[in-house]
Amino acid sequence: MLIERAYVDFSAEEAAEAGESWPWTVPCVRRLVADGLKFGAPVTFLVGENGSGKSTLAEALAEGFGLDSYGGAAGYKYASSRVPSELGSAIRFDPTMAGRRMLRGPRTRRRGFFLRAETAFDALGRAGLSGVPEEMSHGEGFLMAFRERFRQPGLYVMDEPEAALSFSSCLELAGLMHELSRTGAQIVCATHSPLLTALPGAEIIEVGEHGMRSVAWDELALVDHWRRYLTDPRAYLRHIVG
């Protein structure tokens, strides 16, 4: 692992001034400002409804580490011109010894990648990824890119990587994430996937109106909903299609 805790570097006056505007009004961001976010495992999943702030939080963690907020690696060689967010600029870390070596050195020493589903191929292309064969589907190309680009210890932040993947491809991604974490890398992944979040040994942080809390996989609302839906789809669909 590289990071033991993330927090916001604010004085009391700065916190009071920022408290009435977005993103500081988002419950999970308020919790981050108040208590920070501890990481207890090499893989951490951020789970919550659309609009809960999980993607905002993931992006800020990536920016705080020096990863490209558009989607990309650390350093400036392949970076987009996107300006880091106010939250990302205020993020600080309590690193492990390995993380300290990256964070205290020049930005180009940092390793990792911020992977957004909607910008993945563009970002990977700018980072020097070899060409994806035209006959490959989006999902196949995504997995090939993951295998080729994510090989070394670093911080890997992902925002809904399951978006282009089938069930079997999600299983493969879970395996790749597990293997990557065993190299000394750390992964933070915002997701809606009950499949990915079932990865053994991973920590799950549920994000919502309550702020943030660590939960077990079988306590997740999304797991309960999927289980109920697959058992009896009509129980849900009758409210949608009459």
Q: Is the dihedral of CA 12, 14, 20, 24 positive or negative?
A: negative
Contact 124, 73 (CB under 8 A): no
Residue identified by tokens 């090499």 is 42
Give 9-54 pLDDT, tens digit per residue.
876 566 666 667 889 999 999 999 999 999 999 999 999 999 999 9
Q: Give pLDDT, residue 16.
A: 60
Edge-to-edge strand list for the sheet holding 37-38 = 37-38, 3-8, 91-95
Q: Give pLDDT, residue 174.
A: 96
Domain boundary assignment for the chain: 3-217
CATH of domain 3-217: 3.40.50.300
| Positions in the chain whose pLDDT score sits under 50 | none
